[in-house]
Structure 1
Amino acid sequence: MANIKRELMVKNIGRDPYKDLIMVDVVQRLGIDYEFKEEIEQVLERQYTAIDELVNNKDLYFVSLCFRLLRQHQYYVSADAFNNFVNKTRNLEIRGESNDALMSLYEASQLRVEGEEVLDEAEYLSRLLLQERMKFLNHDQSIAIKNTLAHPHHKSFARITEKHIISNVVNGNEGYEKALQELVTTDLALMRTIHDRELSAVSRWWNDLGLAQELKLVRDQPLKWYMCTTALLTDPGFSEERIELAKPISLIYIIDDIFDLYGTIDELTLFTEAVNRWDIAATEQLPDYMQKCFLSLHNITNEIGYKIYKKFGLNPIDYLKISWSKLCNAFLEESKWFASGHLPLAEEYLNNGIVSSGVHVALVHMFFLIGDGSTKEQAELITSNASMLSYPAAILRLWDDLGSAKDENQKGHDGSYVTCYMKEHGEVSVEAARKHVQDMISDTWKRLNKECFSPNPYSKTFIKGCLNLARMVPLLYNYADNQSLPQLEEYMKSMFVLPLNC
C-alpha cells in the first residue's frame, strides 16, 4: 500500500493548489484519508497561509471547496470568502455558475454556523438551481447532482457514495484514477477483514451474555449495534475500541426496551435507584431479568473501566456510572409521563429526550476508550463541555421523533416531540410541526458545526466521532415504506464481504 500512496500523493501534491484540494476532497470522500494525514495537513496549511487570496478569487468551485476543507479541519475561514458572489443588495449572484460550482457551493453551505445568512441562501439557491437543471441533463449528470443533494459530504458517510466518486470527481484529473482505485480496493479488503473479525467478537460476547434469551421482546441486533461503532470510529487502528464500545451501545437498547416493554413504574424506579447507587444488593426485590440486566451492566462497565485504567492510567468508572445514572433517570421520567397519560411541554420533553437518546453514554465511553480522559483534568472535559455531546443527541432525538416509522421491533410507547409540540400549539398541523422539527435539526447542525470548528480542547478523533454520530442518524432512522433501512443496508454491504440484513 505504501507504493500506491507514494504514487497517488507524493507525485501529485504541491504542483497545483486547485488539484491538491481536489485530491484531499477525494480521499476524504472515499474514507481513506487516515492514510494521508500528514499530506492533507501540508496541503491545507499551505492553502491557509494564502487565505487572504481566497476573498479575491472569483472561481466559485474553488472558493467553496477551499472553504469547506479548511473548516472541516478547524482552520478559521470567514463566510466573507463568498463576498465576490454577492451583489449590492447582499444577494447571491450564482445563476450563471456551472453545475460543478453549484454542487461545491451546496457542499460548503453544510458547514455553516448560526448567523451566516449568505450560506443559508447558498444552500437554498444552489439546491433550487440544481433541481431545476436536473430536468435537462443526461442520466449520469442528474445522478451526480441527486447524490450531492441527498448525501452532502459533511453530513454523510464515505462508504455510501464512494462508488460515484471516482468517476464523477476524479475522472480527467491527470490519470491517477488507477492508483486511487487500487488503494480503495486494498483498503476495502483490509477493512472488511477487520470488520468481520470484530463482528465475530461482538456476536460471541452478545450470545454469551444471554440477555436475548432471557428477554424475548427486546431488540436482538448485535450487527446494528456494532455498525454504530464502525461509524463513530472509522480508523482501522481502533479495532479493540470498537469491540468495547459495542457493549454499552447494546445495553442502551436493552435497558430502553426494559423501560418501554417490561417493567412496572415501581420496578423501574427500584432499578433506577440501583443504578444510581451502583449497588447489586439494591436489586434484590426486582424480577430476575432486571437483576441479570443490572449485573451485566455493572460487570461490563467495571470491566471497561479497568481496561481503560490499565491502558491509560485513569479509571473512568465514576464518569461511566454517572452517564448510566442520567440515562436511567431520563428513561424513568418518560415512563412516568406515558404511564400517567401526561404529555410534557415540548421543550421539557426534548431536554429529557436528549439524555434518553443514549448518545451521552456512547460518547462518554468513546471519549475514555480512545484515551482522551487519561488525566483528571482531561476527564473533567466530558462534564464541563456538554454541548459537544448534546447537539448530536438532539439531532438524533429530533430525527427519530419525526416519526417516519417505528423501529420494526419496538412495540412500546415512548412519545414524540412532534406530538408534544402539536398539543402545546393547538392549531398546528402535522406538516407544520414536522417542518418545525426539520428546521430545529438544521439549526442544531449549525450549533454542532460551531462547536466542532471553533477552537476547543477535544481531540480531532473525538470531534470526528461526535460528527459521525450525527451523520449516522439518517442511517438508523430513515425508514422506507416497507420498514427497511436502505441507507444502513447500503452502508453495511460496503463493510462486509457478504451482504447482511439488519
Structure 2
Amino acid sequence: MPCSCGLYAWSIPAVGPNKFREIGKTNFTRIVPMPNTHKWSIAHDHTLVSIPLKKDNHSPELGSFTDEFYNEHAQKLKEVKHVFSKLGEDAMESMMMIDAIQRLGIDHHFEEEIEAVLQKQYMKSSIHGDCDEDLYEVALRFRLLRQEGYTLPADVLNNFKNKEGKFKQNLREDIRGLMGLYEASQLSIGEDILEEAENFSSLLLNACLQHLDRHQAAVVKNTLEHPHHKSLARFMTKNFLTDFQGTNGWINALQELAKIDFNMVKSVHQKEMLQISKWWKDLGLTEELKFARDQPLKWYMWPMAIIPDPRLSEQRIELTKPISLIYIIDDIFDVGGTLDELTLFTEAVNRWDLSAFKELPEYMKMCFKTLDDITNEISTKVHKEHKWNPVGSLRKAWASLCNAFLVEAKWFASGHVPKAEEYLKNGAVSSGVHVVLVHLFFLLGHGITKENVDLVDDFPGIISSTATILRLWDDLGSAKDENQDGHDGSYVECYLKEHRGSSVENARQIVAHMISDMWKRLNKECLSPNPFSTSFTKGSLNIARMVPLMYSYDDQQCLPGLEEHMKSLLLENLPYRNTQK
C-alpha cells in the first residue's frame, strides 16, 4: 500500500515493551519469604546520589548555576514568548507551537499564552463549527482543547466521513493527519466516532510501517505505542528533542529554551533527591525491616511524574513520604507479619492508637510511629499553609488502605479465591492511589472546603478510575516486584478461577480492554464539572501515565525503562548553545 512520506516528525519515544507475565496455577497461599537476588539496578540506588555529575561548559554542578546561566534562560524565555505573541491569527502555527511546548514539558512558563490561544480556538469551534478540511489541524485542535478541559464534541470529525458514515479512504495518504487522529482518539470518553477513529487510524498506520524509512517508521510506531495523552512529557523531553524538526522559525529558539530549562529543573530534582535520601536514611526503618524494599529514589519518581511543575518542590518531597510508607506497609502485609499481627496492626491504625501496638513486634511499632509522625507533620504544614487540618482525612485514608491489605491477607491465608469483581473493588483501594491523591489534594491546597474534603474522602471517580488502572496494570505486570516474595494474587487469576475453560490470553485481553475503558472513564471524570484544581486533575492522569513505567518488569525482575528515565532526568546533562558569550 503506498504511503505519503509527509510525516510530522515530533514523536513520543518508546518507554519499553509491555511484557506480560505468565500466569500459572491459581495459588492464594502465602509462601515463606526467600532471599531474592534480583533488584532493579538503581535500587542499590542510594549510590546514585553520590555519583559524580557529568560536567560540561554549560551544565554546572548541583547548585552552582551562575547569574549568566539564569540570564540566558530569562532571555530565551523572553524570546520564545515574543515569537509566540507574533504568531497572532495563525491558528495552525499557534497550535503547533503549543503542542511542542507541552511535549517539551515547559508549558508552566506559558500558561496564560496557551489559555488565550485555546480560548480563541474554542470560541471559533463553538460559533462557526470546525469546517477545516485538514485532518491534522482539526484533530490537533480537538486534542489540545479537550486535554485542557474544554467540552468540545467529537462530531467535529464527521467532516472526514463519507456518505456511508465511514472515514474517507483517501485519508490513508495523509500520514500526519492519521497520526493526529490517533492521538485525538485517546481523549475518548466513550464516543463511537472516537472508537472508529482509533481503529481506522491505527489500522492504516500499522499497515504503512513497512513502506516508510527507518526514522519515519519509528515516529509512527512510537505514536501508536505511546500517544501524548498517555505519556509523561517531562520523561520524554530528551527523546522528543531528537525528532523535533521542521521549517518553523520558532523551533531553534524553543529547542534552546527547552535544553536550558531541562538542566535547571534537573538541578531542582537533584536537590530534592538528596533531601529524600537523607530523610529516608535518618528514619532508620531499613534497619528494623530487613524484608522490606529500600528504594527511596524509585519512590521519588512517582511525585516527579505526578506534579512535574518545578515550582512544587516542597509538595514533591512531602508526597514522597506517604508513598514510601505505602510500599513499606504493603511489604509488612505481604511478607512481614502473621495474620494475627496484621489484624492487630490494622485495628490499631483504625483506632490510631499507639498503645495498641504494645503486643506487636518492634518493627510494627516503629512503622506506626513513623506513620503517625509523618501524618502529623504533613497535617501541621497543611494547616499552616491552607488553614485546614487534614489529619482526620489522612488517618481515614490510611485505615482504608490497611483494611484492604488485611482483606487480601485473609484471602491468601485461607486459600480463598474471591470473585474477580470483588477482588478488583478491594484491589483499587489496596493500590494506594487513594492515599496518594488525598495527600496530594491537601498539599496542593486548592479548593479545600468541607464539601470537597468529603468528596475526596469518599473515593470519587477521578481517584477510583486511576486506582483501577494501576491495579489492573500491576496484575498484568511482567514479573513479581523485586522484593515481594509473598503472593498477592491478581485479577487474571481470579478471572480464570471464576471462568473455567477460559485461556490466559483471553483473560489478558479482557483486562487490557478494562484498562482502556477505565481510561475513558478517567477522561470523562476530568472533563466533567468537578471541584478539583487543574493540578490535582493532571496529577490523577499522571499516576495513570506512570503506571506502565513502574510495572514493566523484565525477565530479571528489573525496571530498565524506569532506570533509563531516572538517569536521564537526574544525572545526564543537555548541552546547549550559549549565546551570551
TM-score (norm 2): 0.83
Deviations 1:447-467 (A, max 9, x none): 000000122111000000000
Q: Which residue in 2 is equivalent to 1:103?
A: 179
Q: Deviation at 1:164?
A: 4.3
Letter aligned with residue 329 of structure 2? I
1:26–1:170 CA contact under 8 A, matched in 2: no
Letter aligned with residue 59 of structure 1? D
Query: Which stretch shows the higher mean deviation, 88-97 or 218-227?
Result: 88-97
Q: Name which of 519, 532, 549 aligns with 1:445.
A: 519
Q: Deviation at 1:80?
A: 0.5
Q: Name which of 76, 84, 88 aligns with 1:4.
A: 76
Letter aligned with residue 11 of structure 1? V
Q: Deviation at 1:177?
A: 2.1
Q: Which residue in 1 is equivalent to 2:56?
A: none
2:288–2:363 CA contact under 8 A, matched in 1: yes
- Residue 198 of structure 2 is aligned to residue 123 of structure 1: yes
Q: Deviation at 1:186?
A: 1.2
Q: Deviation at 1:3?
A: 2.7
Q: Deviation at 1:78?
A: 0.5
Deviations 1:232-261 (A, max 9, x none): 111011101111100000000000000010
Letter aligned with residue 233 of structure 2? A
Q: Which residue in 1 is equivalent to 2:37?
A: none
The 5 A counterparts of 1:270-309 are 270-309=344-383
The 5 A counterparts of 1:453-492 are 453-492=527-566
Letter aligned with residue 386 of structure 2? F
Q: Deviation at 1:85?
A: 1.2
Could you list the runs of 5+ residues in structure 2 that have no partner in the other structure? 1-72, 574-581
Q: Deviation at 1:328?
A: 0.1
- The number of aligned residues is 497
- Residues 14/490 of structure 1: CA separation in 2 closer, same or farther (3 Å cut): farther
1:92–1:118 CA contact under 8 A, matched in 2: no
- Residue 159 of structure 2 is aligned to residue 87 of structure 1: no
2:234–2:308 CA contact under 8 A, matched in 1: no
Deviations 1:117-176 (A, max 9, x none): 111121122111111111111111111111111210000011343334345454211x22
- Residue 485 of structure 2 is aligned to residue 411 of structure 1: yes
- Residues 22/170 of structure 1: CA separation in 2 closer, same or farther (3 Å cut): farther
- Residues 370/105 of structure 1: CA separation in 2 closer, same or farther (3 Å cut): same
Q: Which residue in 1 is equivalent to 2:51?
A: none
Q: Which residue in 1 is equivalent to 2:144?
A: 69
The separation in 1 between residues aligned to 2:492 and 2:536, in whole angstroms, is 31
The separation in 1 between residues aligned to 2:555 and 2:404, in whole angstroms, is 31
The secondary structure found in structure 2 opposite 1:50 is helix
Letter aligned with residue 449 of structure 1? N
Q: Which residue in 1 is equivalent to 2:398?
A: 324
Deviations 1:157-205 (A, max 9, x none): 11343334345454211x2222112111111111111001001111111
The separation in 2 between residues aligned to 1:213 and 1:167, in whole angstroms, is 44
More helix by share: 1
- Residues 144/433 of structure 1: CA separation in 2 closer, same or farther (3 Å cut): same
The separation in 1 between residues aligned to 2:505 and 2:568, in whole angstroms, is 35
- Residue 322 of structure 2 is aligned to residue 248 of structure 1: yes
Letter aligned with residue 363 of structure 2? Y
Alignment RMSD: 1.5
- Residue 121 of structure 2 is aligned to residue 58 of structure 1: no
The separation in 1 between residues aligned to 2:140 and 2:233, in whole angstroms, is 17
The 5 A counterparts of 1:18-417 are 18-52=92-126, 53-94=128-169, 95-114=171-190, 116-166=191-241, 168-173=243-248, 175-372=249-446, 374-384=448-458, 386-417=460-491
The separation in 1 between residues aligned to 2:164 and 2:479, in whole angstroms, is 44
1:314–1:373 CA contact under 8 A, matched in 2: no
The separation in 2 between residues aligned to 1:134 and 1:220, in whole angstroms, is 43
Letter aligned with residue 182 of structure 2? Y
Give the structure, 1 or 2, with the largest relative contact order (CA under 8 Å, sep 6 or more). Answer: 2
Letter aligned with residue 376 of structure 2? N
1:26–1:165 CA contact under 8 A, matched in 2: no
Could you list the runs of 5+ residues in structure 1 that have no partner in the other structure? none
The secondary structure found in structure 1 opposite 2:409 is helix
1:403–1:416 CA contact under 8 A, matched in 2: no
The secondary structure found in structure 2 opposite 1:475 is helix
TM-score (norm 1): 0.96
Q: Deviation at 1:409?
A: 1.7
1:474–1:487 CA contact under 8 A, matched in 2: no
- Residues 112/97 of structure 1: CA separation in 2 closer, same or farther (3 Å cut): farther
Q: Deviation at 1:344?
A: 0.2
